[in-house]
A = this chain, B = another copy of it.
């Protein structure tokens, strides 16, 4: 089983979710994170004093899928939906999951997904 973690721009969340659902991936977990990278934060004003916001709000999506095919489907869906072409679009990381359980049913691994 594979876990896909994607860091994307917050306003793309809705699009990415729709793309994943279209690719038949119907489970995911989302969290709010802050990203540091090439994208320079916008500057904010505070009573006339300007400062750079280094950490930029991002959204992290985590999806666990059963097969490598599903994994590349997911990666493709995210890539397309999260794309704007501007710096800061984010990254996708894939790693291995050795074991999965669905708490409600006690199903394991592929069935649990």
A residues neighboring B (CB under 8 Å)? 2-3, 6-8, 17, 26-38, 54-55, 58, 60, 64, 75, 78-79, 82-104, 106, 112-113
Can you add 8 more A-B contacts, CB < 8 Å, to A27-B36, A92-B103? A29-B34, A82-B103, A83-B104, A85-B104, A90-B103, A93-B99, A94-B99, A96-B98
A101 near B95 with CB under 8 A, answer no
* Copies of this chain, whole number: 3
Known interface pairs A34-B30, A104-B86. Does A3 touch B95 (Cβ–Cβ under 8 Å)? yes
- State the CA gap A93–B82 with chains docked (Å): 25
Query: Given B55, B89, B93, which contacts A104 in the complex, CB threshold below 8 Å?
Result: B89
